[in-house]
Structure 1
Amino acid sequence: MMIHEYLRTLISFVFVLGVLVTFHELGHYLAARWRGVHVEVFSLGFGPALFKWRDKSGTEWRICPIPLGGYVRPHGFDDPEDATEEQKAAWIPGRTFHDKSVWSRAIVILAGPVFNFILAFVLFVLLFATAGQPHVRNEVASVLPGSAAQNAALQKGDVILRIGTHDIAGVEDAQATVAQTPGQKTTLLVQRNGQSLEVPLTIGSTQDSRGGPARGLLGVVFAVEPGKALPLPQAVSAGAKATWNTVVQTLNGVWQIFSGQHTARDLGGPLKIAQLSGQVAQYGFASLLSFMALLSVNLGLINLFPVPLLDGGRLVFYAIEAIRGRPVSKRVQEVSFQTGFALLAGLFLFSTFNDLSSFGLFRWVATLAG
């Protein structure tokens, strides 16, 4: 990889993550201001502040060197039992987080993920209103050398209508059908030069280098029809639909991992996101917007998972408090947060290990050792 590619990857990664984190934390910030909570700190990134300034409301804004997240610190966020006398003396009456109703606190926490969904929607609308909505057709644009498609003599322009006995509804349907049947002998019904033609085919197979299950592979590139800019009302409708579809697809992907349909080794971490950011950026700003929208939905959903330390975990505690009429015991919260920290740290290390494995680092180290 050339130096300019490294720079493109780094700049794209910082830009993408910076926008997503800014909007997420902006949701917390604006909701806190709306509910009458003073915000002490709004930080983009972690670590010592590179730049900081204080606005008229008393909020300190920071830009920090580690671009892996950010945070908003509401005034009086700590439980009164944990606060020192000095901290209590500095509290502004009526402006502390812990003094607000459980509903107000829940709104402040929920606003972060909600803003991620709003950002995804806005990005999709902007994309469709300017670049349009490209359509991928189940028409062969090219055949990969040595693939199952080449062995079956598929040609450019062939439209895949049926695989075996399954009528194909679109490209995603074709890809899913092929992926589930590695090595299977079947027939394709294609339309070629206006005529229907049955083609015998043995679906190819690819083995996950990280030990996952084999997946079927056809070996074609499907034709993409460039989109046309949509009128704003249609762009809004298409943006809402795209956001919802992304939510459904993301949850389906999570379910497939938990149900064993996909291996957890498919999980990617920050290094994978950085790599993809650089790769997507080379196809233009429209592609980068689409990628950011997908990531924004993922960030919103992940933060809603009921894991302590995440927004979803706090919302669970607030729901229990609303039902019981009193907060969850301090001991339960402490144990939950410790468990949540261990879980998130383990997930971070595991996903980073997956990233390094996919980059071939460990194979390279093994060759040096042996």
Structure 2
Amino acid sequence: MIQNPGFLLTVLAFVAVIGPLVFVHELGHYLVGRWFGVKAEAFSIGFGPELAAWVDKRGTRWRIGALPLGGYVRFKGDMNAASQTDPAWLQLPPSERAESFPAKPLWQKAAIVAAGPFINFLFAILILSTFAFVYGESRTPAVAGKVQAGSAAAAAGIQAGDRILSLNGREMTTFDDLRLYAQIRPAEPVTILVERSGRTVEKQGRVGAVQEQDGFGNRFKVGRLGIAPAQPVIEPVELWRAPAVALKQTGQIIRTMVETLGQILGGGRSVKELGGPLKIAEVSGQAATLGVESFVFFMALISINLGFINLLPIPMLDGGHLLFYGVEAIQRRPVSARVQEWAYRSGLAVLLAMMMLVTFNDLSSFGLWERLSGLIG
């Protein structure tokens, strides 16, 4: 039986996950900025009061904040940690103005901003490449070895031996493709194209919805077709091919994130499924109790998540900056300061609202509101 990680292990595991990933993210911005000759005035891991700080020979202040929920690199010419341009940069001496962020060409600024999410994806790919090389790649064919009685597949007329060619038009190559597609679509209608005895047959059905509980008592709804593979196939992965396998896996994870977010925005899934820092901390502790491999794999997932979230086109995030640069490239002039100020204020409001929502969800998943209502009642 899996043991509860306890408060101390949960906190330590959370810091061990978030700290390195935030550092890696900001290091991407910092290194590409240095490559293009931009001076970094501050490199911070965490927010709030300083726990420690030092200044290097290049004049960069490296700091560790008390709240390990993020970080930032403030380049010369930035007004704040959100990288808003300080109008005073134009008054700097020519030598200092040349090493400021706003003075750089548009493509260099875009590269500096994109480097943060990119290095998060790269970090995850390195981890997944190692796992692929050590454990191999699952290549189990998308064939129904066994169909569970009363399942969604049985109701749709799927038989043992059927090769699933596609679900709702999406090609299914391996059994993992089936699992990944179905698990985020509980109770959704599905058109199943199968190959049976050399013929192509189309079946209509609905993905099954089951309530599951993990070893820590967390309940969640997932989609299931109700079929099992005939024989699992694990293929060895050569070292040279491991990055390609990891890149494919990263793409699958990102696609699942995009589709899940689309379902939430479209009302197909509840916003209660969104989790925040408290949930990440809880799962970090849980992953730590399962061993080093589970913990490292969890870090890869969070790294992909961090890169993906930062690319969302929300001002204050990297994706918001890239959106402005895209508009600037199209209209051949920067977005006006007034529009940027309005956008940053709106972006801050959106981020604060999202933080409040996910924190509320986190506390709900811990049963806080039920205990409070019990005390009041």
Aligned equivalent of 1:334, options 334, 341, 344: 341
2:157 corresponds to which residue?
165
Q: Distance in 2 between matches of 1:327 and 1:153?
A: 60
Deviation of the 1:338 alpha carbon: 0.5
Shift of the 104–234 alpha-carbon distance from structure 1 to 2, 3 Å rule, reads closer
CA shift, 1:220, in A, is: 11
Equivalent in the alignment of 1:12: 13
2:73 paired with 1:106: no
Q: Once the two structures are superposed, what CA deviation does each residue of 1:238-294 show, in whole Å capped at 9, x if it has no partner?
A: 211111111111111111112222111111111111111111111111111211111
Amino acid at match of 1:271: L
Secondary structure at 1:129 match in 2:
helix
Question: Partners of 2:28 and 2:75 in 1: how far apart?
Answer: 13
Question: Structure 1 residues 89 and 352, CA, compared in 2 at 3 Å: closer, same or farther?
Answer: same
Once residues 61 and 184 of structure 2 are traced to their aligned partners in structure 1, the CA distance between those partners, rounded to angstroms, is: 51
Structure 2 residue ranges without an equivalent (≥5)? 165-171, 188-207, 214-219
Aligned to 2:306: 299
Which range moves more in the overlay, 257-266 or 269-278? 257-266
Give the secondary-structure state (helix, strand or coil) at the position aligned to 2:41. Answer: strand
- SS of 1:64's equivalent in the other structure is strand
Partner residue, 2:280: 273
Query: 1:26: which partner in 2?
Result: 27
Task: Spell out, residue by residue over 1:210-253, the C-alpha distance to the aligned partner (whole angstroms, 9 max, x if none).
Answer: xxx98677999999979787431232222111111111111111
Say if 1:43 and 1:71, in contact at 8 Å, map to a contact too. yes
- Which residue does the alignment assign to 2:125? 121
Give the match for residue 168 of structure 2.
Answer: none
Contact 2:77 2:89 in 1 (8 A): no
Aligned to 1:243: 250
Bigger mean CA deviation after superposition, 287-296 or 109-118 = 287-296
Work out the percentage of aligned pairs sharing the same amino acid: 40
Task: Give, as a single letter, the amino acid of the residue that structure 1 aligns with 2:321.
Answer: R
- Distance, in Å, in 1 between the alignment partners of 2:236 and 2:284 is 24
Residue 294 of structure 2 is matched in structure 1 by: 287
CA distance in 2, matches of 1:80, 1:125: 39
Contact 1:124–1:289 (CA under 8 A) maintained in structure 2: no
What CA distance in whole angstroms lies between the structure 2 residues aligned with 1:171 and 1:130?
19
CA spacing shift, 1:342–1:217, aligned 2, 3 Å: same
The number of residues matched between the two structures is: 333
Paired residue type of 1:336: A
In structure 2, what residue type is equivalent to 1:44? I
Q: Does the 8 Å CA contact 1:127/1:289 hold for their aligned counterparts?
A: no
Amino acid at match of 1:100: K
Cα-to-partner distance string for 1:11-53 (whole Å, 9 max, x where unaligned) = 1111111121111101100111011100111111111221222
Please give the TM-score of this superposition, normalised by the length of structure 2: 0.76
Q: CA offsets per residue over residues 61-86 of structure 1, 9 Å max, x none? A: 1112210001001111237763389x
Distance 1:179 1:61 in 2: 42
Change (3 A) 1:325 1:178: closer
Whole-Å separation in 2 of the counterparts to 1:56 and 1:136: 55
Decide whether the 8 Å contact of 2:311 with 2:319 is kept in 1.
Answer: yes
What's the secondary structure of 2:71's corresponding residue? strand
The AA in structure 2 aligned to 1:127 is F
How far apart in 2 are the matches of 1:233 and 1:163? Answer: 44
Native 8 Å contact 1:179 1:217 kept in 2: no
| Mapping of residues 1-370 of structure 1, within 5 Å | 5-78=6-79, 82-83=87-88, 88=92, 92-133=96-137, 164-166=156-158, 170=175, 173=178, 206=211, 230-370=237-377
Using a 3 Å threshold, how does the CA distance of structure 1 residues 45 and 221 change in structure 2: closer, same or farther?
Answer: farther
RMSD (Å) for aligned C-alpha atoms = 3.9
Q: Tell me, yes or no, if the aligned pair for 1:280 and 1:288 is still in contact at 8 Å.
A: yes
5+ residue gaps in structure 1?
Answer: 140-148, 155-159, 183-202
Shift in CA distance, 287/138, structure 1 to aligned 2, threshold 3 Å: farther
Shift in CA distance, 61/309, structure 1 to aligned 2, threshold 3 Å:
same
Tell me, yes or no, if the aligned pair for 1:138 and 1:223 is still in contact at 8 Å.
no
d(CA) in 2 for partners of 1:204 and 1:44? 41
User: Which digits, 9 at most, give the CA deviation of each residue in 1:191-224, with x for residues without a partner?
Assistant: xxxxxxxxxxxx776499xxxx986779999999
* Secondary structure at 2:290 match in 1: coil
Instruction: State TM-score, norm by structure 1.
Output: 0.77
| Separation (CA, whole Å) in 2 of partners of 1:221 and 1:99 | 59
Structure 1: distance between partners of 2:31 and 2:240: 27
1:187 corresponds to which residue? none
